[in-house]
Structures are given as C-alpha cells and as structure tokens.
C-alpha cells in the first residue's frame, strides 16, 4: 500500500529517500485521530543534528523514505473523545517519542525515554506496524501522553528546539544534581545543545564555563549567552589553570574527543555527563577517575513529565533557543551548513508558512 493510502488523513512533508540525505517533497498520510490522540497543524519544526545523522543513515538504522523532525510545535485542530489535557486551539509540541509500552517500571516512573519499547517520532514502527513520520510535515497526530503544552509566553519558533535540545540538557542538570546555586558547571561544545545548556544552567543559578575548541566563540559565550567564563580546550595553559574547578560538565560534543582533560577539570566527586554520542568508544583514563572519585555518565533526552516541567521552567525564565528560521525548501542547504557547524544555533523550519504541496 502506498504511503499516501496507508492512513485516512492526507499529509505532506519533505523526506530523505536514500542515504544521500537529500530532501524532497513527499506525499503520505496520517492515521485517524484516535480517542486518545491529538491532531495538530505543524507551525515550526527544529532541525536537530540527529535528523542529519538519520537522513544519511549514519547510525545504520534508517528506513526510507524518512521524514525527520522531533522538535515540533503547532496548534491543535482535533482531539479524540477521551483526550483530557488538550483542546482545539492549544499550542502544543511533540519531541523525540510518540509511544512506549506504558506498563514497564520505566514508563510508570515517568521515564518513557528509557522504555525498551519506546517509539521514536520518526523512522520507527508504531503500534499498528506503520512507519512513524516526523515534523518536517504539515500535520501531526500523537497520543496525548506524548504531547506537551507550550505556554503562551514562549514564542513558538524559538521554543521548538527545546523539545529535544532543551530536555537533553535540562534532564542531566537535574538528575546529576548540577543545579544548585553556587555550583560551577562546564558546558563542552557551543552548538544546538550547548547554548541551551548554558541558558538552563544560568537560570538555575549555576556558574557556567563554556569549553570549546573555537576561540572565536568566546564573545558569543560571554556577551550573548552570559557564560561566566570560557576555556579553549586546546590551550594547555588555560586548561591546566582550571583543573579541579568544576562540579560537573555537560559534554555535548558528538565527535570523538579526549576525556582526560575534561576529567581533570572536575573537582573531586565531579561528574562528566555525556549527552552527545560519539559512535566510536572514547578513551577512559581510570587513574584520575579513581583518585578523585569522579564519574562519567550518559543521559538521553527525558521522560514526558520532565519534558513538560522543562518547558514550564523555560517559560518562567524566558529561555528559548537562538534560531535561524528557514523556509522548507532551504532544508538541503541548511543540512550542509549544519554539517559544518554553520548555524547559531538551531535552524527552525517555518512549516506553517512555507511547506506547500507542489505535487
């Protein structure tokens, strides 16, 4: 059955059709709004670096055609008969997941993101066996459990990236206790994840040092993002002077990079939390871990309850992503620029105004 006929509601988006990762218009369909589903018109969708990895099948798990996008915001157009949390006209968002088993220990503890049967917003198989398609499209249908409310005070376009980048950095700051006023946290990498991490940490009252390989990001970090200090990771003198000063580090870098200097920056009992995911293993020096009782941990997005909490926190502190709004047909160029890190700091597709069916 063709993607257009699979489901009753016509849908339109842009898809990558093979591992070249090049996007083009794509007609498909969405399921009927079930009794617990919310349908919404997509207004904006952030471009996450994962979208690029998946479009090019860099993780080896992509199925084509692939409609990415898991930083989706829009306006509710229809709600199922048993939907309690949302009404038509509400501003809502969907992040990285649209389903989970709902009964395992993780799900019942609001940790749907760690459910072994979690269903990703795109490129996965839904309960009915059909492929999930993401937010580079005109409409979305999602179970209300996986939909978050976007408060009125948050501009929708700049809020979209919070649905992945935001929760990815908020969750470990809370879980690993790096949120207490007066603490000193490092953020490695100043990109989509990193710049949001700086904003959240500052809002939590934490002193922030940005650690980067690019000296030219210093002004941005300090003047614009209000980081307290900046370290060039390749400058041995700077790194040496900062040894043993950080309670924690959020490492957003997904390229392979050395951990030893970062471990050295931690105070005793400090925590290095990886939220970027290099595909190859990194070298872990054990001695410094031991003598300082330090840890290296990972963290992946967050559960739905925490995602809503993060959005509400962002609204309270007026935190949004720094974005470059683009029309849908700019997406291929955007991907090329994203690959080179040429964006401050997230592209957001203006779906509502620019995604038009030309087929």
**Alpha-carbon gap, residue 135 to 99, rounded angstroms:** 15
Q: Binders of another protein among 52-111, rule CB under 8 A? A: 106, 111
Q: In terms of CB distance, is 237 or 283 closer to another protein?
A: 283
**Alpha-carbon gap, residue 351 to 73, rounded angstroms:** 10
State both tokens at 4: 């257009």
What torsion do the CA atoms of 89, 94, 100, 103 make, to the nearest 10 degrees? -50
Q: Binders of another protein among 100-129, rule CB under 8 A? A: 106, 111, 114
Q: In terms of CB distance, is 18 or 279 closer to another protein?
A: 279
Q: Is 25 in the site for another protein (CB under 8 A)?
A: no
Q: In terms of CB distance, is 293 or 317 closer to another protein?
A: 293
Q: Binders of another protein among 233-262, rule CB under 8 A? A: 259-260
**Alpha-carbon gap, residue 210 to 186, rounded angstroms:** 6
Closest CB 254 distance from another protein, rounded Å: 9
Q: In terms of CB distance, is 2 or 268 closer to another protein?
A: 268
Q: In terms of CB distance, is 89 or 182 closer to another protein?
A: 182
Count residues near another protein (CB under 8 A).
35
Closest CB 323 distance from another protein, rounded Å: 25
CA 156 to chain CA centroid, nearest Å: 15
> Are the C-beta atoms of residues 186 and 270 closer than 8 Å to each other?
no
Closest CB 144 distance from another protein, rounded Å: 25
Q: Binders of another protein among 160-179, rule CB under 8 A? A: 175
Could you tell me which residues come within 8 angstroms of residue 115 by beta carbon, excluding any fewer than 6 positions away?
100, 101, 104, 106, 107
- Residue 351 pairs in a beta bridge with none
Closest CB 344 distance from another protein, rounded Å: 25
- Phi then psi for residue 188, to 5 deg, are -95, 125
Query: Is the preceding peptide bond at 345 cis, omega within 30 degrees of 0?
Result: yes
Q: Binders of another protein among 280-299, rule CB under 8 A? A: 281-299
Residues that bind another protein (CB under 8 A): 106, 111, 114, 175, 259-260, 268-269, 271, 274-279, 281-300
């Amino acid at each position: 059955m063709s993607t257009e006929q699979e489901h009753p509601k016509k849908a339109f988006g842009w898809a990558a059709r093979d591992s070249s990762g090049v996007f083009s218009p794509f007609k498909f369909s969405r399921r009927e709004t079930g009794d617990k589903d919310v349908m919404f018109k997509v207004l904006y969708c952030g471009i996450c670096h994962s979208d690029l990895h998946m479009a090019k099948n860099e993780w080896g798990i992509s199925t084509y055609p692939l409609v990415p996008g898991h930083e989706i915001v829009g306006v509710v157009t229809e709600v199922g008969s048993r939907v309690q949390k949302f009404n038509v006209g509400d501003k809502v968002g969907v992040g990285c997941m649209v389903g989970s088993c709902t009964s395992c220990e993780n799900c019942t503890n609001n940790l749907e993101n760690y459910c072994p049967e979690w269903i990703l917003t795109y490129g996965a198989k839904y309960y009915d066996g059909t492929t999930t398609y993401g937010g580079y499209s005109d409409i979305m249908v999602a179970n209300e459990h996986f939909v978050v409310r976007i408060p009125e005070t948050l501009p929708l376009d700049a809020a979209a990236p919070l649905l992945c980048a935001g929760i990815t950095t908020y969750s470990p700051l809370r879980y690993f206790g790096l949120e207490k006023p007066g603490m000193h946290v490092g953020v490695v990498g100043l990109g989509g994840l990193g710049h949001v991490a700086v904003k959240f940490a500052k809002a939590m009252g934490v002193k922030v040092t940005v650690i980067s390989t690019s000296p030219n990001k210093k002004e941005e970090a300090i003047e614009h993002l209000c980081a307290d200090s900046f370290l060039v990771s390749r400058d041995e003198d700077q790194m040496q002077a900062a040894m043993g000063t950080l309670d924690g580090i959020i490492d957003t870098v997904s390229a392979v990079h050395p951990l030893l200097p970062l471990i050295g920056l931690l105070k005793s009992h400090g925590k290095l939390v990886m939220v970027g995911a290099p595909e190859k293993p990194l070298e872990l020096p054990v001695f410094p871990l031991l003598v300082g009782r330090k840890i290296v941990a990972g963290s992946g997005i967050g559960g739905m309850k925490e995602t809503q909490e993060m959005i509400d926190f962002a609204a309270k502190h007026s935190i949004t992503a720094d974005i470059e709004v683009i029309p849908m047909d700019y997406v291929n160029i955007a991907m090329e620029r994203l690959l080179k890190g040429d964006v401050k700091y997230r592209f957001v597709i203006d779906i509502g105004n620019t995604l038009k069916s030309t087929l």
